[in-house]
Amino acid sequence: MAELVQRVDEQVLLWITQHLRLPVLNELISFYTSLGNAGLVFILGAVVLLCFRATRRAGAGAGVGMLLGFALTNLTIKPLLSRPRPWVVLEGLETLVTSGDPNSFPSGHTCAAFAFGVAVAVAAPWRWLKAVALAAAVLMGFSRLYVGVHFPSDVLAGAVIGAVCGLLGAWLMGRAWRAASRRGGRLGPGPG
């Protein structure tokens, strides 16, 4: 089974890098994927959301979700599995960026993006913000394939782990908001 997954991963990744890349997009997508280094753009997004009463719960849920995702992917699963990056095992792959992390599975960038996106989609008060957060997550996952630093199964696993962590972060913050409101605290808007 693992050999089949590896073979499909390699074929799909090579197809993406050989058929979907456009010179006009290479720098733009490489820049976007680099914004996810250490979860930077999503951490900043959560901090910005924390600054406004209407989005405070979404920002807190995103932050908690990203912390959970980081612990699962970067501190636990990646070191345990130690799956090599695509350029190590896949001859003929041209990457647009490189990574100092030698472990590929699961995608930490994608995990952070989906933890942020799902938590915001659950707790944000506006549909446009929910849509932007989810679109940013999907684009981050795609960007990791486009630049050639992850296999499709890495990105899929990162998205699933991130989505679960985002749901858990939003749920935990929803409980915290309800508990604070029962005690008369004012953290931000209630569940909604």
Residues in the chain, overall count: 192
Domain count, the chain: 1
Closest CA to 165 of 103, 117, 130, 132: 117
Q: Is residue 192 part of a domain?
A: no
Q: Is residue 140 part of a domain?
A: yes
Q: Is residue 47 part of a domain?
A: yes
Is 50 exceeded by the pLDDT of residue 3?
A: yes
Task: Report how far apart, in Å, the C-alpha atoms of 69 and of each of 77, 117, 149, 164, 172 are.
Answer: 10, 12, 19, 9, 14
Q: Identify the domain containing residue 165 by its residue range.
A: 30-176
DSSP string, 167-179: HHHHHHHHHHHHH
Q: Is residue 185 part of a domain?
A: no
pLDDT in tens, 6-45: 999 999 999 999 999 999 999 999 999 999 998 899 999 9
Q: Is residue 52 part of a domain?
A: yes
Q: Is residue 181 part of a domain?
A: no
